[in-house]
């Protein structure tokens, strides 16, 4: 007798949520000349802006996708091979992205090979890879109730390491907290983020609480599949989300909200907001049947990794082309957008125009049926 397991029902709202995070991620990462609006810049240390919400939202969306992929029957060895292979490839792509274009332009106009010894080993894709790996292993072997405890445990462990292993008064500082000291010891400053004098916002310790965002997304995906496309589901998501936002605000005086450290209050706040936003999208798309922007965001959500990589690599290539002493992307922002709309407005228009170019790349892939899977 053969048992056929029905594939879980797809939710357009989940795909749209993932697509929206990619769109906003590119906008934030590619601000043009003129200076971005405050909400499109990350908080300098503690605090919270719209830009700070985007990366944890993508991790949340990674968990959503896992809730569908991991419910399919799969032998143990196949699961482990796929999960470790995917995590390794995403990590490798992140390293290669920072090494790209493998050459540097010298002041005399010559080109030299860019040494791997100066290449950043941490980063956005690398953290996604590690969080995906930890989240997938936990989801495979633990029950939902246990996953809740693991997520809380990861956040508490992160806090305990910062407070217990950092030098006195440095637990929530930038350069001498336990996470930074560990990164400097294990990886070395030459392989860390260069723009912050030794502090890396995607350091290894932050992987622990960031994995809680993935687990939260996974549990949310399971819950939505179980509860269905109903107003009750929206109400539950909104209520849980609001509760987490309140928890984050209550914790903030003793555990400040900060993306760069990825504090526990930051996890609670971002998961709470994501639940509220996802509930709103669920209500508009699945219940009310709103179709505006559906195909566009779903298209982005089908190929998020390819579109993100394209956006990062293309802007690097454009900046290698110098016009009047400026990189081409900077030159276009300064000369095409700032005269029309000076300041942050022109910066945003430049970023939006570039993001739409990246979306066009995603559209071409989608039309050809190409989906980058690793």
**Mean pLDDT for the stretch of residues 223-249:** 94
Q: How far apart are CA 121 and CA 98, in angstroms?
A: 8
Strand ranges in the chain using DSSP code E only, listed in sequence order: 103-105, 111-113, 322-323, 326-327
With CA atoms as reference, report the closest residue to 122 among 21, 57, 195, 66: 195
Which pLDDT tens digit goes with each residue over 26-79? Answer: 999 999 888 889 999 999 899 999 999 999 999 999 999 998 888 778 888 899
Look up residue 47 and give its DSSP letter. Answer: S
Peptide bond into 80 cis (omega under 30): no
Please give, one letter per residue, the 3-state secondary structure of 17-52.
HHHHHHHHHHHHHCCCCCCCCHHHCCCCCCCCCHHH
Buried b or exposed e, range 123-152, using 16+ CB within 10 angstroms: bbbbbbbbbbbbbbbbbeeeeeeebeebbe
Q: How far apart are CA 171 and CA 62, in angstroms?
A: 29
Residue pointed to by tokens 């969306």: 61
Q: Is the pLDDT of residue 217 over 60?
A: yes
Q: Are 66 and 139 in contact (CB under 8 A)?
A: yes
Q: How far apart are CA 15 and CA 61, in angstroms?
A: 8
Q: How far apart are CA 63 and CA 65, in angstroms?
A: 5
**Mean pLDDT for the stretch of residues 104-112:** 72
pLDDT of residue 291: 86
User: pTM value?
Assistant: 0.92
Q: Are 25 and 94 in contact (CB under 8 A)?
A: no
pLDDT of residue 117: 85
Q: Are 93 and 125 in contact (CB under 8 A)?
A: yes
Q: Are 132 and 87 in contact (CB under 8 A)?
A: yes
Q: How far apart are CA 274 and CA 280, in angstroms?
A: 10
Contacts of 254 (CB under 8 A, 6+ apart): none
User: Phi/psi at 169 (nearest 5 deg)?
Assistant: 80, 0
pLDDT of residue 7: 53
Residue pointed to by tokens 């209500």: 283
Which pLDDT tens digit goes with each residue over 146-193? Answer: 999 999 999 999 999 999 999 998 999 989 999 999 999 999 888 888
**Mean pLDDT for the stretch of residues 86-99:** 94
CB atoms under 10 Å from CB of 105, counted, come to 14
CB atoms under 10 Å from CB of 122, counted, come to 24
**Mean pLDDT for the stretch of residues 252-280:** 96
Q: How far apart are CA 193 and CA 167, in angstroms?
A: 22
pLDDT band at 9 (very low <50, low <70, confident <90, very high): low
**Mean pLDDT for the stretch of residues 98-116:** 79
Tell me the helices (H) and strands (E) count for the chain, helix number first: 13, 4
**Mean pLDDT for the stretch of residues 98-107:** 81
Higher pLDDT, 116 or 244: 244
Give the CA-trace dihedral at 116, 122, 126, 132, to 10 degrees.
150
Which pLDDT tens digit goes with each residue over 286-340? Answer: 888 888 888 999 999 888 999 999 999 999 999 888 888 888 999 999 999 999 8
pLDDT of residue 138: 95
Which pLDDT tens digit goes with each residue over 185-214? Answer: 999 888 888 887 778 999 999 999 999 999
Q: How far apart are CA 108 and CA 106, in angstroms?
A: 5
Q: How far apart are CA 207 and CA 362, in angstroms?
A: 29
pLDDT of residue 129: 96
Q: How far apart are CA 90 and CA 126, in angstroms?
A: 7
Q: How far apart are CA 347 and CA 86, in angstroms?
A: 36
pLDDT of residue 274: 97
User: Phi/psi at 47 (nearest 5 deg)?
Assistant: 120, -175
Q: Is the pLDDT of residue 6 over 60?
A: no
């Amino acid at each position: 007798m053969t048992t056929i397991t029905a594939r879980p029902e797809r939710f357009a709202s989940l795909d749209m949520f993932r697509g929206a995070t990619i769109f906003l991620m590119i906008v934030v990462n590619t601000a043009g000349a003129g200076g971005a609006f405050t909400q499109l810049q990350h908080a300098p240390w503690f605090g919270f802006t719209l830009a700070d919400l985007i990366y944890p939202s993508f991790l949340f969306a990674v968990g959503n996708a896992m809730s569908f992929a991991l419910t399919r029957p799969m032998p143990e060895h196949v699961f482990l091979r796929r999960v470790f292979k995917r995590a390794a490839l995403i990590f490798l792509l992140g390293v290669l992205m920072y090494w790209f274009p493998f050459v540097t332009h010298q002041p005399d106009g010559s080109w030299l090979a860019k040494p791997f010894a100066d290449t950043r080993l941490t980063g956005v894709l690398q953290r996604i890879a590690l969080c995906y790996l930890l989240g997938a292993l936990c989801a495979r072997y633990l029950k939902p109730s246990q996953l809740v405890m693991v997520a809380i445990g990861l956040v508490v462990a992160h806090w305990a390491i910062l407070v217990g292993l950092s030098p006195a008064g440095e637990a929530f500082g930038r350069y001498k907290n336990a996470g930074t000291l560990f990164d400097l010891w294990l990886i070395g400053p030459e392989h860390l983020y260069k723009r912050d004098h030794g502090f890396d916002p995607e350091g290894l310790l932050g992987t622990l609480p960031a994995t809680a965002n993935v687990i939260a997304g996974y549990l949310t995906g399971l819950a939505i599949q179980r509860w269905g496309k109903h107003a009750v589901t929206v109400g539950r998501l909104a209520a849980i989300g609001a509760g987490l936002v309140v928890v984050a605000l209550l914790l903030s005086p003793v555990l400040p909200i900060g993306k760069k450290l990825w504090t526990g209050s930051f996890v609670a706040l971002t998961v709470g907001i994501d639940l509220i936003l996802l509930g709103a999208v669920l209500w508009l798309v699945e219940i009310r049947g709103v179709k505006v922007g559906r195909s566009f965001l779903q298209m982005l959500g089908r190929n998020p990794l390819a579109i993100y990589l394209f956006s990062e690599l293309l802007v690097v290539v454009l900046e290698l082309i110098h016009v009047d002493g400026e990189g081409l992307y900077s030159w276009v922002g300064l000369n095409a957008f700032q005269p029309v709309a000076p300041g942050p407005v022109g910066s945003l228009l430049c970023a939006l125009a570039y993001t739409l170019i990246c979306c066009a790349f995603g559209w071409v892939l989608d039309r050809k049926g190409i989906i980058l899977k690793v």
